[in-house]
Amino acid sequence: MTELIFLLPAFVACLVLTGIHTYLGVHVIEREVIFLDIALAQMAALGMTVGHLWHFEPDSMGAYGFALGFAALGAVIFTLLRTRRVPQEALIGVAFAVSSALAVLVADRLPHGGEHLKYIISGNILWVTWPQIIKTLVIYSLIGVLHFKFRRQFLLLSKDPVAAAQQGIKVRRWDLLFYLSFGAVITSSVQIGGILLVFSFLIVPALCSQLFFTGIRARLFFGWVAGVLCSVAGITASYHWDLPTGPAIVTIFGVMVLLCFMFYASRVRRA
């Protein structure tokens, strides 16, 4: 019973992350901007690092403000510089590399810069607190309501931006709203789980679901189940074998991808 009480906050945090990240992951895969998540996460982490330089603890509201500001800047950049002449993935890659380099440069000025970099990469989800979970749940709920209300516009933009423009939808305006809401989610997630865990929650469930389903509802349900199972397995392995929780969950996500692709390949061969 004591073990369950100790692990419960981490498990609930993973449930919260799974809920909205699977949905956003479907959008990211449809838009073919797979590394958008990790680029915005790295920009948010850069903001946290700058905030730490100003003596704000990584889990404080001050650090959250810095991280959200940098993520919002990234959202504006990705929206304004979107063009058909240059693949957006190239811009996303440049943003990730530059923000990573800047984070290293800023961390070099911190007394415990190495530990801070480890924190923003791997997170510390095992020690997440209930106030952090509640704050994150409120933010995710507000963004979820926004996306539900405008689900037609967001889904059409992700699936077919040309058709969206032909229907009179202001593509840049809605893209900016999508990226800003996405950045707000990523900022909260990085504070809890770190960059690697956030990327895995976003991409792996949505990627695996796309192998077997085409409908949005089926892909979401499969992704949610996959995210929950990976979370339980990763947290359990972390506790019993004294492993870092974030990397343990990410590794389980990797196993999930391998198993799904093996199962999909076997179905294709039988067909």
Domains in the chain: boundaries: 2-270
**Confidence at residue 47, expressed as pLDDT on a 0 to 100 scale:** 93
**Confidence at residue 268, expressed as pLDDT on a 0 to 100 scale:** 80
Closest by CA to 123, choosing from 62, 58, 61, 38, is: 58
**Confidence at residue 46, expressed as pLDDT on a 0 to 100 scale:** 92
Residuewise pLDDT in 10s, the chain (271 residues): 677 788 899 999 999 999 999 999 999 888 888 788 788 889 999 999 999 888 888 778 888 899 999 999 988 888 887 666 667 778 888 889 999 999 999 998 888 888 888 888 888 888 899 999 999 999 999 999 999 999 889 988 888 888 888 888 888 889 889 999 999 999 889 988 889 999 999 999 999 999 999 888 899 999 999 999 999 999 999 988 988 899 999 999 999 999 999 999 988 887 6
What lies within 8 Å, CB to CB, of 249 at 6+ separation is 14, 125, 197, 200, 230, 231, 234, 235, 238
Tokens found for residue 250: 């990410």
Percentages of the chain per state (helix, strand, coil), in multiples of 5: 85, 0, 15
Tokens found for residue 238: 């972390």
Helix (H, G, I), strand (E, B) or coil at 83: coil
**Confidence at residue 84, expressed as pLDDT on a 0 to 100 scale:** 63
- Decide: 186 and 72 in contact? Cβ < 8 Å: no
Rg (Cα) of the chain, in Å, rounded?
18
**Confidence at residue 158, expressed as pLDDT on a 0 to 100 scale:** 87
* C-alpha to C-alpha distance for 87 and 94, rounded to whole angstroms: 12
Name the region of 160 (left: φ>0; alpha: ψ -120 to 50; beta: rest): beta
CATH 3.30.830.10 at 2-270, yes or no: no
Closest by CA to 256, choosing from 195, 194, 203, is: 203
- Helical H segments across 87-160, by residue range: 88-107, 113-122, 130-149, 151-159
Closest by CA to 184, choosing from 228, 144, 150, is: 144
Greatest Cα pair distance, the chain, in angstroms, is 60
Dihedral in degrees, nearest 10, Cα atoms 68, 247, 213, 175:
20
- Which residue bears the tokens 């423009």? 165
* C-alpha to C-alpha distance for 38 and 41, rounded to whole angstroms: 5
What lies within 8 Å, CB to CB, of 228 at 6+ separation is 14, 15, 18
Closest by CA to 200, choosing from 58, 32, 34, 45, is: 34
**Confidence at residue 258, expressed as pLDDT on a 0 to 100 scale:** 95
Q: What is the pTM of this model?
A: 0.89
- Decide: 73 and 16 in contact? Cβ < 8 Å: no
